[in-house]
Structure 1
Amino acid sequence: MRLRFFDLTPPTPAELIPPGMSAPKTGGNDAFLEFLEGTVKPEVERRVAVDRTRQTLFGHSLGGLFALHVLFSRPDAFQTYIAADPSIWWNGRSILNEMQQFLRDPSSGEGSRLLIETSGKRAQRPGADAATIAKIETLRSGPNGHDVHDASRQVGSCLATASSPTKATAA
């Protein structure tokens, strides 16, 4: 569990780690991407036929944050990116800076597709008691009180209306 923080996040100063969380090791997202590109993909291609023009990266939560990072830093790594409930709030929303840099290059992400999925108010599921609803609403707000689903919609909207040729959809 703790390794996922290292593999999926940028370097994060201690003051930006959510309150109550023991400081996990962070900052391995680029090394993890290199592992995927340099080791995992070639090994999969060695074992099975792969269409390199139809590859998708899916991630949820911190994995969704990682998917956005890959799109913004190496848009040619995959053709489709799916970020489910991405943790945009992580590291003071530094992923938004990556997005702005990505949008500065009009050819970035040409032909790439992005789906940002937000699950909405999961507390409305049948059988959720008051304590569960309160916990989910706290998590949903992120550690700094930001609505994580609104942030995801803002990223999707920004990418969809930008001059970048990436096709973005927020669901």
Structure 2
Amino acid sequence: MPHLLIRGIAPEQIRSVSKPLTEELAAICSCPADDFMLECLHTTAIAGGEFAPSYPFIEIAWFDRGLEAQDRFAEAVDRHIRQGLGLPELELAFRVYRARDYYSAGRSLAEPTEARQQAEAEAAHPADEELEELRAANRKLAEELQRTRKALVSASGSAMSTRLRDALRE
């Protein structure tokens, strides 16, 4: 993983650039070069009722590594394959897998292990931290509002103006 599904380019051409390409992609993805699978698909294209050459197209199937890594990955693939092989055009598309939907040996990659559970427990999600900070600030404001209301009621007795009461309700 990642898998590059390649069509419209001869396997011999892909083989000629595969080593430097996978080495660069491995550095971008922070994984071993042998984790990559380059598959040359034999396709038959038909256009206008006639056989036509397949358009050079590469689909990258992977786990999301962020937009910066995706952009660097796409640039490296384009440089090694389109530019390196002298192709006039090449299109790429990314297909993102989710760990819970990807299975190996019949087991979802999202199935928790003790190490993963411990790591998840130790590393709080930044959005969760921010949400909890906002909730705490909201509780504090609600408490201050309640104290202010009590102070106003005791200071003015029960003769609080309707306008002030309406403003405090909002």
Shorter-chain TM-score: which interval?
under 0.3
Which structure's CA Rg is the greater one?
2
Q: Give the TM-score, by structure 1 length.
A: 0.24
More helix by share: 2
TM-score, scaled to structure 2: 0.24
